[in-house]
């Protein structure tokens, strides 16, 4: 089992920045990729970004490319999501998820999920 706890959410104005953290524990030796997803009220959960724990390559949804940066600290077992130039449409609950075998953006490819952290961007 792998456990994640997200933190760093909050209220920010349009154009502001936030950094989310995903603290991971348990069988971290099993982790292949960690991803960030988000879900706005009334909408489906969607992929934001993901990063490999082995080679470190990362990939992003088009909606956040150039504004968000995902990174990891393997020694601290923590994955970060630096969010810049935030927009009201970025308002959502942000979830961290890990998998043991999958590369991609599909929710079903991720096995272990955190409970989320709320990000609200005011206009």
Per residue in 7-40, pLDDT (tens digit) is 999 999 999 999 999 999 999 999 999 999 999 9
Phi, psi of 107 (to 5 degrees): -55, -40
Note the pLDDT tens digit of each residue in 83-106. Answer: 999 999 999 999 999 999 988 999
Helices assigned H by DSSP within 1-123: none
Which of 32, 33, 62, 57 lies closest to 46, judged by CA?
62
Q: Is residue 51 a contact partner of residue 57, using CB atoms and an 8 Å limit?
A: yes
Report the C-alpha gap between 5 and 49 in whole angstroms: 17
Which residues are registered as beta bridge partners of 111? none
Percent of the chain with pLDDT over 90: 89
Two tokens, residue 13: 């104005």
> pLDDT category, 74, cuts 50, 70, 90?
confident
Q: Give the per-residue pLDDT at 55.
A: 85
């Amino acid at each position: 089992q792998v456990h994640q706890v997200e933190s760093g959410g909050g209220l920010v104005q349009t154009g502001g920045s936030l950094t989310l953290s995903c603290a991971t524990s348990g069988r971290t030796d099993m982790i292949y990729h960690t991803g960030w997803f988000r879900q706005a009220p009334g909408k489906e959960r969607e992929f934001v970004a993901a990063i490999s724990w082995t080679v470190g390559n990362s990939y992003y949804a088009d909606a956040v490319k150039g504004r968000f940066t995902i990174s990891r600290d393997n020694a601290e077992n923590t994955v970060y999501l630096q969010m810049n130039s935030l927009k009201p449409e970025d308002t959502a609950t942000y979830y961290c998820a890990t998998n043991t075998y999958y590369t991609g953006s599909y929710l079903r490819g991720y096995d272990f999920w955190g409970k989320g952290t709320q990000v609200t961007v005011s206009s």
